[in-house]
Amino acid sequence: MRTALWLIPTFPLLSAVLLAIFGPRFSRRTTALLGVGSIALAALISLGIAADFLLSPPPEGRYSQSLGSWIRVDDLRVPIGFVLDPLSLTMILIVTCVGFLIHLYAADSMRGEEGYSRFFAYMNLFVAAMGVLVLADNFLLLYLGWEGVGLCSYLLIGFRYTNSENGRAARKAFIVTRVGDTALAIGLFFLFTQLGTLDIAAAMQHAVAEWPIGSPLAITAAALILVGAIGKSAQLPLQVWLPDAMAGPTPTSALIHAATMVTAGVYLIARTASFFILAPPVQTVVAVIGAATLLIAGFSALVQTDLKRVLAYSTISQIGYMFLALGVGAWSAAIFHLMTHAFFKALLFLSAGVVIHAMEGEQNLFRMGGLRRIVPLAFWGFLIGGASMAGLPLITAGFYSKGEILWGTWIGGGPVLWAAGVIGVVLTTLYTFRLFFLVFFGRTEAEAAPRPGFLIRIPLVVLSLLSIFGGFINLPSRPRLSRFLHAALPPDREGAPGRLTPFGSEVIVAAAFMVGLLLAYELYLRRRAAVRGLMRLPMAAGMYTLWYTGWGWDLFYDRRVVRPVKALARAARSDWIDLIYIGLARLTTLSYDALRRTETGRIRWYVGGIAAGTVLFIGLVLFI
């Protein structure tokens, strides 16, 4: 079964090519069958390979598959090769299975949209690129998938391109993530020149053998990889593109947030963990960035009025938890939270799509209310997904993954980072149930919405079950997933636990959840007038504006980066280098005009021209 590994990205890629070329000729039914069916095949193959891997583990815990040579120049050899180990297997299951559920939902929800085949072509290419990124055994192939997901996110965010705002959001996402991509590309060149290989496993082995811990080479390599991961995963200071990416269709948002784009950075750091272990200062920066991001994004989510922007900031915050875990050496906890996050975040976005459809496109939270009887399926989806994201104790997947991160933070990061994580639990619960109470409780003016179709109900039900039971795979008493991942990840960092026990940490996390829930209940269900009164205070209004605008990062970039670059471009528009190109363009235009005048349509003029040319040619032959 493992020999079918190459088919996982191939099926989505083939369907993307077919839909791109012949899509307009296909019926919508054929398009849906091709678009969804290819992801279903990829998911089935992934499940079969997972069963094979678990029942008969390969030697050394990994399976490699070579499909030929891609580049062969002098000493540079780049194969097309895939690797299957516990880390890539876990990731590919998330990408294909959650991706399939999102595709199934999209087959119904996007049915009335113009560009139906184009949408599935982009979505399938997205899954194919993520598959290449996850399975690649060398850095160059990984970078191909890395750029592929960047391209697909640009195409999907700007899918409804007739709206100029959507095009602006797509360009913003593309340009901001290019900053990280450029750093990663430089990092790959650096690794090749220093270690002489692009094979991921070989490069890390060479680095461990040759670079002392804390050496400048290790710090440089880890720092460049980190900047690449920050861009893709929307962490400080490159988080500004993700809230605006909500311009894309809702299934696109679900795919970007749950199973592809933003998880790529977390996967990259986990895949290259050895470089970060060799560079402790950079690993500490990873933890600090994660803690700061989860808090800043949590406060911003607390005041957003757009339903999807709340979810966007919640993604930035939850990815921050994963960075925090990676930074403190809780490697398996980060991947565990990535998995549970895929379940509840996909559920939340797809439920949001049902709500927005029922409200005929309305996304403002304060124009909603009382929808629990209008869209009961979305009500239960939000309740389960939100409770899991906030960490409802004992019965949700998010509680166990977040609890593991916070215990790992206490062990490997200390009380300050741990306190940031606990405050993040309060914020997550507060903004999640603020959204929940505003949307589903209170008065309603909406009319009864059409009942969601079968293709929409199935993904919501399956994701609800996964959001509840998905965490039981890694209970503190039986950490099956952590033991499985430890074959591909470094052992968790050890430290002095102090007086806090794992049980005590979970009790505090549960208490933080209850504090957030009580605050949300009092502020947004019982005493909304008190919130409105609070907002009239000057300091509260100022904080609201700061948080609402994402702490002013967009304004900062506009003033300090965008405007100076535009001014520089305007100043450089008429320099002497441009005069060369302008002169060449004008010379070409004059030459064209001169030749165009020879095209008179008169035979004698053409005969005369041929005769003159012949004389000139003979003269050149005779006298030169």
Cβ burial of 1 (10 Å; 0-12, 13-18, 19+) is middle
Q: Give Cα separations from 521 to 342, 430, 468, 528 (angstroms).
A: 27, 9, 22, 10
Tokens of 381: 């989806």
Cβ neighbours of 112 (radius 10 Å): 8
Q: Which residues pair with 306 in a beta bridge?
A: 364
* Residue 451 or 87, more confident: 87
pLDDT, tens digit, 9 for 90 and up, residues 412-468: 888 899 999 999 999 999 999 999 999 999 887 667 677 788 899 999 999 999 999
Cβ neighbours of 153 (radius 10 Å): 28
Q: Does the pLDDT at position 366 exceed 80?
A: yes
The average pLDDT across 403-416 equals 90
Q: Give Cα separations from 216 to 225, 279, 419, 434 (angstroms).
A: 14, 8, 31, 47
DSSP assignment of 168-183 equals HHHHHHHHHHHHHHHH
pLDDT, tens digit, 9 for 90 and up, residues 127-184: 999 999 999 999 999 999 999 999 999 999 999 988 898 999 999 999 999 999 999 9
Map 476-489 to HEC letters. CCEEHHHHHHCCCC
Q: Does the pLDDT at position 89 exceed 90?
A: yes
The average pLDDT across 99-116 equals 92
Read off the DSSP letter of residue 238: S
pLDDT band at 619 (very low <50, low <70, confident <90, very high): confident
The average pLDDT across 398-421 equals 91
The average pLDDT across 488-493 equals 83
Q: Does the pLDDT at position 498 exceed 80?
A: no
Q: Give Cα separations from 87 to 90, 196, 487, 540 (angstroms).
A: 5, 25, 8, 45
What pLDDT does 570 receive? 84
CA 42 centroid distance within chain: 20
HSE of 417, CA atoms in CB hemisphere, 13 A = 29
Continuous segment of H or E residues that includes residue 535: helix 528-535
pLDDT, tens digit, 9 for 90 and up, residues 12-55: 999 999 999 998 889 999 999 999 999 999 999 999 999 999 99
What pLDDT does 448 receive? 66
What pLDDT does 78 receive? 82
Continuous segment of H or E residues that includes residue 98: none
Average pLDDT, the chain: 91
**Percentage of the residues of the chain whose pLDDT score is greater than 70:** 98
C-alpha to C-alpha distance for 398 and 427, rounded to whole angstroms: 15
Query: Beta-strand (E) ranges in 347-386?
Result: none
